[in-house]
Structure 1
Amino acid sequence: MVVAATTGQAALAPGDHEFSIRHDGLRRSYLVHVPAQATAGGRLPIVLNFHGGGANAKIQKRYSRMDETAARKGFLAVYPNGTGGFAGRLLTWNAGACCGSAAAKRVDDVGFVLAVLDDLARRTDIDQSRVYATGLSNGSMMAYRLAAEASDRIAAVAGVAGAMALRRFRPANPVPVMHVHSVDDGRALYGGGLAPAFPWTNTRAQHPPVETMLEKWVAHDGCPGKAQITATIKGRPDAADAAHTATRYTYAPCRAHTEVVLWKLTGAGHVWPGGQQNYLRWLLGPGTTVIDANNEIWEFFARFRRD
């Protein structure tokens, strides 16, 4: 059962905010971008956007460029910080079988994120029927863990360049799912397998195959076993990513009016499509604008709410 947000409290002012809470003996923090629509009153939906392994909330905020979509569409963009690393960098999430010190120490990241939602509800009016989760790489894995283990709180999930890494998959409710991934991702391998070592470390992550992961959600959500191709996009002829493609596969109809969608890209690396271009290209591979992940994710999210 989703608990309704408390009414009557003052809304957070538009702009950027940073908050900290104590959870499970650790001081944790998160960033919030509040759109101008907050001044109009009413409860706003939330998109939780999890950074990749080795990054942090500020990097994900800048790299994904989701604030721009939040400003246009009127939702709160929330960027939690993982744990580990040093000086607030090189943070990871305990997404189950991955990643880094967060998984090794079995950090309660699901509990932390639920505490973030509760903390934010005390600070401003939020629409708790419209809480969504997304993220990149290890952050994508974290979004999936949250959706699987807190399906009463998460209305829909969208992973980018990181397949779910749960040892146990038993969501209590159906959850709409979108996944965005390039077959040419050289780090989170589309077909699964052991990733290259993270720079300056001997750390390597084992990635599940994307389509095997989606089969679990397709079965859980009661979708047809065969997807329909519902969009095919090519890069603009005059663009650097002219050779890139994006094909959308849709599994529908599913139970409880859910849906499972795969955006299968070619040519792009381990990246957030439409995000900051050529960020760490030497590590992540080529960026792409063949689709704008923020727009696709929000248009998908906006169709669903948790009863």
Structure 2
Amino acid sequence: MRNLVAVLVTALLAAGCSGAPAPRQAAADEHMLTVDGRERGYLLHVPPGAEGRLPVLLVLHGGGGNARQVAGQTGLSDLADEAGFLVVYPNGSGRTSLLTWNAGACCGYAQRQGIDDVAFLSALLDEVLADQLADPERVFVTGMSNGAMMSYRLACELSDRITGIAPVAGALNVTPCRPTRPVSVLAVHGTADELVPYDGGPPAQPAPGNESWVNASVADSVGFWVDHDGCRRPATERTEGAVTTATYAGCAEGSEVVLHTVAGGGHAWPGGRRSRSEADPVPPEPDASRLVAEFVTRVR
């Protein structure tokens, strides 16, 4: 048990989650769903005056986080009001308020207990997409850290339902990955990330005596989708300040793959909220939340 707590605390501190008050944010309704005998919760934010078929964005918290925490960290509900899409913030699972996702090789309680988070999130989509406001042809997933890893897993196992994913500070840590159609990818990752190293491998500084895991590199994680989506290599690159954007063209069925590399960036949501002093500093650029919002409204 001490090992499990150490893993969660390490992820919690690295991701900037804490009990600190969240900033003001657009309201979201709380819902409950029972899957495999487990009652699971999620928050749903619908833009005021919404009508027609709107894109759907699942936002997955990092290890040790929760739905309300990631809503405050990213501010995506406010951007959803501007751009016009639905936002869903699901909760992972855990024995305490420190929640995780079973993203393959990681993390914590969810992975150790073999929680079927793919089944949970698929059932959640069934429930959300039953509303006539939701567009089943435009379903996106983003996440931070362990949540980013889970977004990769959903793209592997629910590619028939997922239009695109936007992992931030996470890796493709599930094998085998066998998507059945192209999935667009927008990835954001810092070169100085020590929890999910840019070049792959285990966390650089795990808590003493805790369990660890091995992360795929950013090159391998993104490269898998470049190959699967049939994109042309090499990428077109543009550098502005600390951010280098690699864009792969010619991807199948109108899909796209884009990687934003933040030089010197740590384990953080760039442009987001840093909720405790021990967390890695938050790079001011790029604004990851705005990139995600633009991705959701652009890609079809």
Establish whether TM, by shorter chain, passes 0.5: yes
Equivalent residue runs for 1:28-47 within 5 Å: 28-38=40-50, 41-47=51-57
Structure 2 counterpart of 1:52: 62
Distance 1:139 1:169 in 2: 17
Shift of 1:281: 4.1
Match of residue 105, structure 1, among 110, 113, 136: 113
Structure 2 counterpart of 1:135: 143
Structure 1 counterpart of 2:7: none
Equivalent residue runs for 1:187-198 within 5 Å: 187-196=195-204
Give the TM-score, by structure 1 length.
0.85
Q: Does 1:286 align with 2:296?
A: no
Distance 1:22 1:211 in 2: 37
Structure 2 counterpart of 1:232: 239
Structure 1 counterpart of 2:271: 274
Match of residue 249, structure 1, among 241, 246, 258: 246
Cα shift readout 1:111-143 (whole Å, capped 9, x = no counterpart)? 111111111234552111111000000000101
Give the residue type in structure 2 aligned to 1:160: V
Shift of 1:22: 0.4
Q: Tell me: CA distance 1:53–1:200, structure 2 relative to 1, closer, same or farther (3 Å).
A: farther
- Larger displacement relative to structure 2 (189-198 or 16-25): 189-198
Give the residue type in structure 1 aligned to 2:53: R
Give the residue type in structure 1 aligned to 2:102: N
CA contact (8 A) 1:30 1:80 kept: yes
Give the number of equivalent residue pairs.
275
Distance 2:177 2:236 in 1: 25
Distance 1:121 1:255 in 2: 25
**Runs in 1 of length 4+ with deviation above 4 angstroms?**
196-201
Structure with greater contact order relative to length (CA < 8 Å, sep ≥ 6): 2
Q: Tell me: CA distance 1:126–1:201, structure 2 relative to 1, closer, same or farther (3 Å).
A: farther
Shift of 1:296: 1.0
Structure 2 counterpart of 1:242: none
CA contact (8 A) 1:197 1:203 kept: no
List alignment gaps of at least 5 residues for structure 1: 1-13, 235-244
Q: Tell me: CA distance 1:121–1:254, structure 2 relative to 1, closer, same or farther (3 Å).
A: closer
Q: Tell me: CA distance 1:185–1:281, structure 2 relative to 1, closer, same or farther (3 Å).
A: farther
Distance 2:277 2:167 in 1: 20
- Larger displacement relative to structure 2 (202-211 or 66-75): 202-211
Distance 1:59 1:249 in 2: 30
Cα shift readout 1:88-119 (whole Å, capped 9, x = no counterpart)? x2111011121112112221111111111111
Distance 2:244 2:185 in 1: 16
Structure 2 counterpart of 1:261: 258
Match of residue 21, structure 1, among 2, 14, 33: 33
Q: Tell me: CA distance 1:58–1:197, structure 2 relative to 1, closer, same or farther (3 Å).
A: farther
- Larger displacement relative to structure 2 (151-160 or 194-203): 194-203
Classify the secondary structure of the residue corresponding to 2:298: coil
CA contact (8 A) 1:51 1:138 kept: yes
Q: Percent identity?
A: 43
Cα shift readout 1:127-184 (whole Å, capped 9, x = no counterpart)? 1111100000000010111111111111111100001111111100011111100001
Distance 2:268 2:42 in 1: 22
Equivalent residue runs for 1:83-232 within 5 Å: 83-86=93-96, 89-123=97-131, 125-196=133-204, 202-229=210-237, 231-232=238-239
Q: Tell me: CA distance 1:198–1:54, structure 2 relative to 1, closer, same or farther (3 Å).
A: farther
Structure 1 counterpart of 2:290: 295
CA contact (8 A) 2:192 2:198 kept: yes
Q: Does 1:63 align with 2:73?
A: yes
Q: Tell me: CA distance 1:68–1:203, structure 2 relative to 1, closer, same or farther (3 Å).
A: farther
Distance 1:116 1:198 in 2: 33
Distance 2:244 2:204 in 1: 26
Cα shift readout 1:37-79 (whole Å, capped 9, x = no counterpart)? 32xx212211100000111111111111111211111111111
Distance 1:42 1:23 in 2: 29
